[in-house]
A and B are shown apart, each in its own frame.
Chain A
Amino acid sequence: GEDVEQSLFLSVREGDSSVINCTYTDSSSTYLYWYKQEPGAGLQLLTYIFSNMDMKQDQRLTVLLNKKDKHLSLRIADTQTGDSAIYFCAESLNDYKLSFGAGTTVTVRA
């Protein structure tokens, strides 16, 4: 089945690290993605990880994948006000469609 779950809200202080968590249920997912959506804007592909990897780092972003627990996380180091947005976790199924979580609204406070 396909069911991606995320916590709905995260509040973080500017300069701290943010960790956004996601669980998925389909063990056949090949790619897992993180997208960012700012108010009134489309979805921006932040990063993705292939299912045979455990970790991927890209500048301030670190993705961790625990296949056994079907758990994916996104860590944003040194969180800035511009990081305030909704973050979506998504899994690819059958090489074509993306199945999205409900999104985590991240609020960065000064």
Chain B
Amino acid sequence: DSGVTQTPKHLITATGQRVTLRCSPRSGDLSVYWYQQSLDQGLQFLIQYYNGEERAKGNILERFSAQQFPDLHSELNLSSLELGDSALYFCASSVASGRTEQYFGPGTRLTVT
């Protein structure tokens, strides 16, 4: 158990819908990272937050957004969902932004039908 929690574990929704994935980092970690794992693209970095502020963006679509709240939990919002958005979404956390021992949560499996 990494100490990072993610909810829900599974999510099934229809195309065009919007969903919110939630992540709670390990106690004491200030940085949260979101990754997408799909069969065709592998593990891709989406976005990072540090202490409530966006720090870095990767291959994140404009239909996707995220935020980190004052209690340091983070949410990833996916809208106008397409079939190709079906994937495992992982959240990871680390103590600080520069120290990159990232600990991963169990993931949320999103299926878009």
Q: Please list the residues of chain A having a beta carbon within 8 angstroms of any beta carbon in chain B.
A: 30-31, 35, 41-45, 48, 88, 90, 92, 94-103
Contacts and interface: CB of A to CB of B under 8 A. Distances in A.
B18 interface: no
B64 interface: no
Contacts of B58: 97
A102 B90 CA distance: 16
Contact of B42 (A43, A48, A92, A102): A102
Contacts, number: 57
A92 B97 CA distance: 12
Contacts of B70: none
A100 B42 contact: yes
Interface in B71-113: 90, 92, 97-98, 100-107
Contact of A42 (B97, B101, B105): B105
B interface majority secondary structure: strand
Contacts of B2: 42, 44-45
Given A44-B2, A45-B103, A97 B90 contact: no
A interface majority secondary structure: strand
5 contacts: A42-B4, A42-B104, A96-B97, A98-B33, A98-B100
B68 interface: no
Contacts of B4: 42
Contacts of A42: 2, 4, 90, 104-107
Given A43-B90, A44-B2, A45-B102, A95 B107 contact: no
A90 to B, nearest CB: 8
A104 to B, nearest CB: 12
A23 to B, nearest CB: 15
Contacts of B101: 31, 45, 48
A97 B104 CA distance: 13
